[in-house]
Amino acid sequence: MIVRLKDSARDTEIEAVLSRIGDPRRVVLPFGRFIIGMGRQDPGGAEVQHMPGVESVVAEMNGPVLAARDANRRGTVVPLGRTLVGGKDLAVIAGPCSVEDKHQLMTAARFVAAYGATALRGGAYKPRTSPYAFQGLRLGGLAILDEVKRATGLPVVTEAMEPEDVDLMRDTVDCIQVGARSMQNFPLLRAVGRAGKPVLLKRGPASSLSELMLAAEYVLVEGNSQVILCERGIRTFETATRNTLDLNAVPVLKSKTHLPVIVDPSHGTGRRDAVIPMARAAVAAGADGIIVEVHPDPDRALSDGDQSLTLDQFRQLMEETRLVAEAVGRRLSTPGAVYSSCAQRPAARTALGWGTT
């Protein structure tokens, strides 16, 4: 049972509801306060529905509740640097698959910043199918990300592989990515939920959209609504592409959840020559942004070289995608925008005076 409280609910009213519900958990989100009963002896919905201070009740939870469209009809926007992801401006998160060295990352970052990227991606911790593949520079990678972030002003998006990574990322990272293989790593989802900063949650290659939303629900239940969903391709029988980018996900998610949705055409296709067309398509479908791999020298990349754009191709992507963005009433940053700070993210929860339990 999930009870949504009225904004006007008084403390005594809240206490009364808490005492009626088995094993209650309090969640505060920017769009509302909720009491979640996990106990098997929860009262019926009809009984709680009419208590003072209660706005609405969901008695059966077969799908997402906090992540469902109805929970926030206005739509959630997630601040990432100066962009409000989910608003009119599109997010463009660009950079190399892996952080390889300072020169590589700085070159890529300066270029993508100059052509309108709104955030920098780059992996320090790399989940790799083989234990013999390059596993990332780890702490060294985080240090490079920090340095490049200071130099360029670009907010940084990078992947955490386990809960303890999240702590290490507290100071450097602006948005923690939960990778496709980790979409149902529930301890990790809870950890990024408690971290209180933006989360980029990628769809698993065999995960339905319903499961993606329930994975987001794990984050929201911890009191963090700053979740950006990311379609990055699913696994099908087709081998012409590395994955099958499922752009259907964009309109379906838009109708079912209030969270912003971006698209990763690099992993979604695995082919450099398909990235730009699919970036255009993603924006035309209504995505709130894209995340793309860009490398100064893709042929020497330590990972994902086949799908990384060259710097020139990134410029082309921005030019072409900008026109499509305008055709659908959205906006892409213009080249040369300067990022002076990425610390202006509103601290959504502190003003509400309530922690999560």
Using DSSP bridges, classify how beta strands 78-80 and 227-231 pair: parallel, antiparallel or unpaired: unpaired
- Report the C-alpha gap between 122 and 148 in whole angstroms: 11
Chain position carrying tokens 């780890």 = 138
Contact string 11-30 vs a copy of itself (x = CB under 8 A): --------------------
Chosen residue from 286, 305, 306, 354 binding a copy of itself by CB under 8 A: 286
Check: CB of residue 243 under 8 Å from CB of residue 265: no
Q: Which is nearer to a copy of itself, 117 or 247 (CB)?
A: 247
Q: According to CB under 8 A, which residues from 245 to 274 bind a copy of itself?
A: 245-248, 250-252, 255, 268-269, 271, 273-274
Rounded CA-CA distance 350/275 in Å is 40
Q: Name which of 41 and 341 has its Cβ closer to a copy of itself.
A: 41
Which tokens go with 306?
């086949």
Contact 202, 232 (CB under 8 A): yes
Asked whether 221 and 191 are in contact (CB, 8 A), the reply is: no
Give the one residue of 229, 234, 291, 342 binding a copy of itself; rule: CB under 8 A: 234
Rounded CA gap, 279 and 285, in Å?
A: 10
| Per-residue binder mask for a copy of itself (CB under 8 A), 67-106, x = binder | ----------------------------------------
- Footprint of a copy of itself on residues 101-160 (CB under 8 A)? 127-132
Select from 43-51, 282-290, 305-313, 347-355 the region that touches a copy of itself (CB under 8 A): 282-290
**Residue closest to 259 by CA, chosen among 117, 94, 93, 91:** 91
Q: Other C-beta atoms within 10 Å of 341: how many?
A: 9
Query: 26 with 354: CB under 8 angstroms?
Result: yes
Among 196, 205, 305, 335, binds a copy of itself (CB under 8 A): 205
Q: Which residues bind a copy of itself (CB under 8 A)?
A: 36, 38, 61-63, 65, 127-132, 161-163, 181-182, 184-188, 204-206, 208-211, 214, 217-218, 221, 234-241, 244-248, 250-252, 255, 268-269, 271, 273-274, 277-278, 280-286, 320, 323-324, 326-328
